[in-house]
Each structure stands twice: as structure tokens, then as C-alpha cells.
Amino acid sequence: MAGEINEGSVPAYYREVYEAVCCRTDERVQVEVFQRLLQRTDLPKAVLGQIAEHVDFTDGFLSKLSFYKALALIALAQQGKQPSPKLLENCIQELPKPQLGETKDLSILRMQPAQEDVLVVSQTLDKLLVIDTVQVELIPEKKGLFLKHVEYQITSQRYKVSVYRRYSDFDVFHEVLLQRFSYRVVPALPPKRMLKGVLTSISEREFIEGRRRALARFINLVARHPIFSEDELVKTFLTFSGSDVQIKLRDTYKKTGDEFMTNRIATQAKEYLPSDIQAQFSTSRELIRNIHNSFQKLRDRAEKMAERSKENATDLLMFGRELSALGSDGSSLPALASPQSTWGTLRQSLKSLSVEFAVLSDKAAQQGRREEDDVVEKLNLFLDLLQSYRDLCERHEKGVLHEHQRALHKYSVMKRQMMSATVQPKEQASVEQLESRIVQQENAIQTMELRNYFSLFCLHQETQLIFTYLPITSHILGAFVNSQVQGHREMGEVWNELQPKLGCLFGGNNGLKTSI
């Protein structure tokens, strides 16, 4: 085009339309938004196609000048003229005004892609799981009857590094993570010490192992979170090998502040929320509460099955030992015993059976460990996430929402005091002081309202995260079925090997075909 559009010469209406539909985070207009704008013109499809042909765009966006050119072409077409760049050259000094209605109504065209791009968490479970896998291993500092101090070796697959952490390091990390991301699902930490009465049911070593597993679940959920995983706090915890990681973590948080201060859309969160956000939240919360309850029951049953496998291992071992003890009895047979009795021979043969039962016991113990590691742990991981979601819902209601309501109440009290001060003569200084406090309170309320909307925005995203994790159900079921198939196959092989040995020991029918 010989005569290019100059930004300084475009009519005010052009600028208003551009401001209404351009990206908040970019000085360009999305092609999808431009296409929706074309639909508002009521021009024939063929004409719309001609306009689109003459508009330049890159990476799905129109530059500001390309958009102005498009508006001029729309105006020409609405006048019944051919929307061509050649015709546009003749009116470059005085661009025609397109008929698009009130500019304030055009901002709705921008909202749809904003919701798609910002509010929706476009993740899959597989994508989340490959972000990182973190191993947490115990390194006892003191060996003996009780472990006084425990250190953990933390190995991140993503950063290819191992660091050493104590429980107190996890504690500080959890604290600053919660301060930075108070509107997100931050999993809880396991308790540092055994609660009173716990020693009666489990040993200290079992408690420490249980805590190690819980810390591993915590750090993996955090390391795989789409927001946390890219934050400096998490990277610091997983990679910093200096002498005091706690100071480093606190300094890292001080430099950034909480998410509301750093998230680019925090103050515009209200724009991206659907109108029925509260109804959606209530429905999702109830559904997730029911899912949580069901998964707790599944976990309890899986734990019982794993426990039964371990008990089965003990029983099989003891059964074999008793057979061995029976066979080791060297007492001579009394004269009353029938001369035809084979007990003496059989007794000697029973000793060897304890070996087979020890193998069976080992297989049952392996089965218990598989059920615990592959099934119970996966259930516990998802339960930790579900519980942290419920905690987040409570924080939203008791935290920012409650503070907002309290601030509004305080503001209404101040306004009443101000009205009273204007009716009854008071010192000018005290009235001005009250006015100043009211302005401060108005600013505080405005900030709280913004935080409340941002909290809802985050809650909406975290709800999606829970649903993204739901297919973990198939992983859990797969692990459960595989553990049973493997366990039964291995046990079956040992039982099958044992059966012919019984035939050699006890004769042809090996005690199986004769009813007693």
C-alpha cells in the first residue's frame, strides 16, 4: 500500500475500539477477537473474506496499525465500496468511521480468549507427573535403639542434584510456601514428633518411616504443581547446598512477596471469572468432598489388605516352624504304636517343609510391601492433595473473605462516626483525622476486594488441578491389580512346587484325595 496509515492521523473512535479489544498483556489484537469483531458488522461472508485477505497478522495477532487498516476496510465495505487497499489510499488523510456500536460494549469480545488462556489450567496428569520426581531417603545421624536426629537426602530428577535437609528445613519451607501461595493448595506436613499414645501402637522407627513417606508425598506434590514448580522457592529448596537453607528460603520470599504482588493478572482477576463462579465453586467443593470421603475408605481397605499380607507372611513362617519343630521331636515311639505306623519316617520328612513355608512367607511379605508401596502410597498422595484443597477452601472463607467482611463493618462504623461529627460540631483536626482514616479504610477495602477475587480465581484453577489429578484412579487400580496378579502367581508357583513333594513324602494321594 503506497500510503501507510499513520497512528497520529487515526480518528479517536479507532483508538477507542483498539483499547476495548486489544490484549491486556500485549499491544496487539488476537485474530480470534478480530474475527468476532467482523461478525458484528453484519457484512456478507464474501466481503468479510476480502477484508481478512488484506489484513496482515503474525503468530495469531494483528499489530495496532494492521488493526486500524482493518477498521478502515470495514468502514469502506459498510459504505458499499470495495474493501481494497487501493481504494483506501484515496482516503488515507480522513479515514472513514466503521459502524460497530458503542466501544464500551466491545470489550466483551476480548473476554472469551482471556478466560481460555488465563483461567483454564491446560494440563494433563501425565504432564504433571513428568515435571519432577523427588526421592526422599533417610540418613540417620545416630544409630542405636532410638534415632535422635534424622537427616534426609533429597534427590530431584529435574535438577539432577541431591541435597540434605532436616525436618526443620521442611517446616520453614512449608511456612514460606504458605505465605507466598496462600491462595493455592499447599499440602500439610506430617507431625514432627509422635503424639501421646502413638508409641503404644507403633514403634519410633515405624513413625520415622511413615514421616519420611509423608515428606516424600509433600515434596512431590509441590514439585509437580504447575505454579510452584516454576517458583524460585521450590528451586531453592531442591538445589541449594549452602550451610543455612532456612535463611536462604526466607530471603527468597522477602524478595518476591506473596503471589498477589507478583501475578500479572492479580488485579484484573474479576474480569476473568465467570458470572456463576460461586455456584461452580459450591458444586465442585461438594463433589470433591464426596470424592475425598470415598478415597479415604479405599485407602483404609488397601491398608488392611497390605496388613493382612504381612500377617499371612508371619503365619506361614510360624506354620513352617511348627512343622519343623514337630519333625525335630526325637522321642521314640511307644510300644502301643502300630508296627505299621509310618510316623517315624514322616516325622523326619516334616523338617524340610519349613524351607518351603519360609519361601511362601517371603512371597507374602513381598506382596504386602507391594500393596503398601504401589497402592496405599498412591492413595495417600491423592488424599494429601484432596485434604489440602479442603484446607484451601477453609482459608478462603475464614481468611480473605472474613477479613473483607470485617473491613466493611469497620468502614460502616467510621462512616457513622463521620456523619455524627458533621451533625455535632467537633474540632477540625479530629474530623480531618477521621476523614484520613476513612480514605485509608477505603483503600484497604479495595485491596481486599481485589485479593478476594484473586483468591476465587486461584481457587477456580486449583479446583481444575484436582480434576486433572483424578485419573490417578486408573494408576491406583492398575497398581492394585498388578500387585495381586504378581503376588498370586508367585505364591501359586511355590505351592505348585510344594505339592509333588508332599506326594513323595506321604504316598500317592499326598493327603489330598482321602476325606477324613
Three-state secondary structure string covering 184-224 = CCCCCCCCCCCCCCHHHCCCHHHHHHHHHHHHHHHHHHHHC
SS3 153: strand
pLDDT of residue 114: 41
Asked if the structure places residue 337 within a domain, the reply is no
Q: Do 478 and 454 belong together in one domain?
A: yes
Q: What is the percent of the chain where pLDDT is above 70?
A: 77
Please, which residues have CB within 8 angstroms of residue 106's CB and are 6 or more apart in sequence? 17, 20, 21, 37, 100
Burial per residue of 21-47, b for 16 or more beta-carbon CB atoms within 10 angstroms, e otherwise? bbeeeeebbbbebbebbbeebebeeeb
Asked if the structure places residue 319 within a domain, the reply is yes
Greatest mean pLDDT among 48-62, 88-102, 172-186, 390-404? 172-186
pLDDT tens per residue across span 317-331: 999 999 888 878 766
Q: Do 144 and 87 belong together in one domain?
A: no
Q: What is the percent of the chain where pLDDT is above 90?
A: 43
In the structure, what pLDDT confidence band is assigned to residue 379 with cuts at 50, 70 and 90?
very high
Q: Do 225 and 353 belong together in one domain?
A: no
Domain housing 249: 125-262
Cell of residue 429, nine digits: 483536626
Q: Do 102 and 197 belong together in one domain?
A: no
pLDDT of residue 504: 62
> Is it the case that residue 115 has pLDDT exceeding 50?
no
Cell of residue 443, nine digits: 483503600
Q: How far apart are CA 513 and CA 507, in angstroms?
A: 11
Mark which of 109, 141, 172 sits at the end of a domain: 109
pLDDT of residue 251: 94
Q: Do 351 and 469 belong together in one domain?
A: yes
Of 433 and 424, which is predicted with more confidence? 433
pLDDT tens per residue across span 493-510: 999 988 887 766 655 554
pTM for the full predicted model: 0.69
> Is it the case that residue 438 has pLDDT exceeding 50?
yes
Average pLDDT, integer, range 410-433: 60
Residue 163's beta-bridge partner residues?
154
Q: How far apart are CA 439 and CA 444, in angstroms?
A: 9
Strand-by-strand arrangement of the 150-156 sheet: 134-140, 150-156, 161-166
In the structure, what pLDDT confidence band is assigned to residue 410 with cuts at 50, 70 and 90?
low
In the structure, what pLDDT confidence band is assigned to residue 411 with cuts at 50, 70 and 90?
low
Q: Do 479 and 367 belong together in one domain?
A: yes
pLDDT tens per residue across span 123-170: 899 999 999 999 999 986 654 445 457 899 999 999 999 999 999 999
Asked if the structure places residue 2 within a domain, the reply is no
Asked if the structure places residue 273 within a domain, the reply is no
Of 28 and 490, which is predicted with more confidence? 490
Q: Do 140 and 105 belong together in one domain?
A: no
Q: Do 256 and 162 belong together in one domain?
A: yes
Average pLDDT, integer, range 29-42: 86
Of 134 and 87, which is predicted with more confidence? 134
Mark which of 59, 75, 109 sits at the end of a domain: 109
pLDDT of residue 513: 52
SS3 455: helix
User: Count of CB atoms within 10 A of residue 268's CB?
Assistant: 17
pLDDT tens per residue across span 135-147: 999 986 654 445 4
pLDDT of residue 492: 94
Q: Do 139 and 199 belong together in one domain?
A: yes
Number of domains in the chain: 3
Asked if the structure places residue 116 within a domain, the reply is no
Contact between 139 and 164 under an 8 Å Cβ cutoff? The reply is: yes
Asked if the structure places residue 440 within a domain, the reply is yes
Q: CA dist 369 to 282, 453, 482, 484, Å? A: 39, 46, 13, 12
Mark which of 109, 140, 173 sits at the end of a domain: 109
Q: How far apart are CA 252 and CA 250, in angstroms?
A: 5
Q: Do 305 and 359 belong together in one domain?
A: yes
Q: Do 145 and 255 belong together in one domain?
A: yes
The CATH number linked to 431 is 1.20.1270.60
The CATH number linked to 35 is 1.10.238.10
Q: How far apart are CA 138 and CA 151, in angstroms?
A: 6
Q: Do 236 and 146 belong together in one domain?
A: yes
In the structure, what pLDDT confidence band is assigned to residue 429 with cuts at 50, 70 and 90?
low
Q: How far apart are CA 377 and CA 476, in angstroms?
A: 9
In the structure, what pLDDT confidence band is assigned to residue 426 with cuts at 50, 70 and 90?
low
Average pLDDT, integer, range 9-36: 83
The CATH number linked to 137 is 3.30.1520.10
Asked if the structure places residue 274 within a domain, the reply is no
Asked if the structure places residue 385 within a domain, the reply is yes
pLDDT of residue 267: 86
Q: How far apart are CA 70 and CA 48, in angstroms?
A: 10
SS3 471: coil
Contact between 7 and 95 under an 8 Å Cβ cutoff? The reply is: no
